[in-house]
Amino acid sequence: MTKQLLLIDDDVKLGELLEEYLSRFNFKLVRSVNPIQGLELISQQVFDLIILDVMLPEIDGFETLRRIRRQKQIPVIMLTARGDTTDRIVGLELGADDYLPKPFEPRELLARINSIIKRSGKNHSTDSSLEFENIEISLEKGQVKVDGIDVVLTSAEFDMLRILVTRPGAVVSRDDLFEASRGLDWDAFNRSIDVTVSRLRAKLGDPPKQPRFIKTVFGRGYQFIAEIQ
């Protein structure tokens, strides 16, 4: 089944190259050189993933991502020519699922797209649910309920939760989270893992000082502490 992607980037040549390359792998790439137009497309069409440049006319990629997240939780890969660690952290804090510095090889982008879409749960028809005290997680559908209320997570956030809940009670180190995640090129020396876990906790309503679900084990990593129902 063809997957539909949206590229928001004012680099026309890059867009043409990616459209031709990704079409070989059963992806239809819709291109927008203007973020305002891109946001309109998101409200009108269904996309499996968005590729979003940081440097854009009118509004930058960060503000565009903020507006996307007000509408939908579509997976987003951000592109940047600057390669700044701060940019990467800001993007993750705003809800980006991955971050790819320019220039990049199209096959690397393809690998990341496939990885994120696979983890999104859209390719599965069966379900596998885990029930803990105050939280229910559908691993296949990528759905989470806290106190009976749906919580919408990005694929990166859900991936962190999936790793932790499948090892309940065990202390999972940052290195282990890095290795067990989607294989993203996250810099081991930046705060990407901690930022994602922090965002996850905020959405779960799980304050670090009085955790119900995720406990920080200082100097070691994180531990999922909710009791199995």
pLDDT tens per residue, range 91-148: 777 888 888 888 888 988 998 898 888 776 544 444 468 888 899 998 777 889 999 9
Q: What is the pLDDT of residues 205-224, one digit of tens each?
A: 999 889 999 999 988 889 99
Judge contact between 83 and 60, C-beta under 8 A. no
Question: What residues does each domain of the chain span?
Answer: 3-119, 129-224
Task: Over range 28-34, report the average pLDDT.
Answer: 96
Q: Which of 84 and 90 is assigned the larger pLDDT?
A: 90
First to last CA, the chain: 37
Is the pLDDT at 82 greater than 70? The verdict is no
SS3 129: strand
Q: Match domain 3-119 to its CATH number in 3.40.50.2300, 3.40.50.300, 3.40.109.10, 3.40.1400.10.
A: 3.40.50.2300
Q: Looking at the domain 129-224, which fold is it?
A: Arc Repressor Mutant, subunit A (1.10.10)
Q: Which of 88 and 164 is assigned the larger pLDDT?
A: 164
Is the pLDDT at 35 greater than 90? The verdict is yes
Q: Which of 129 and 53 is assigned the larger pLDDT?
A: 53
Judge contact between 19 and 31, C-beta under 8 A. yes
Rounded distance, CA 188 to CA 151, Å? 28
Is the pLDDT at 6 greater than 90? The verdict is yes
- The overall pTM is greater than 0.85: no
- Check residue 60 and give its pLDDT: 93
Q: Residues 6 or more apart from 61 whose CB is under 8 A from it?
A: 8, 35, 52, 53, 54, 55, 78, 79, 80, 91
DSSP character at residue 228? B
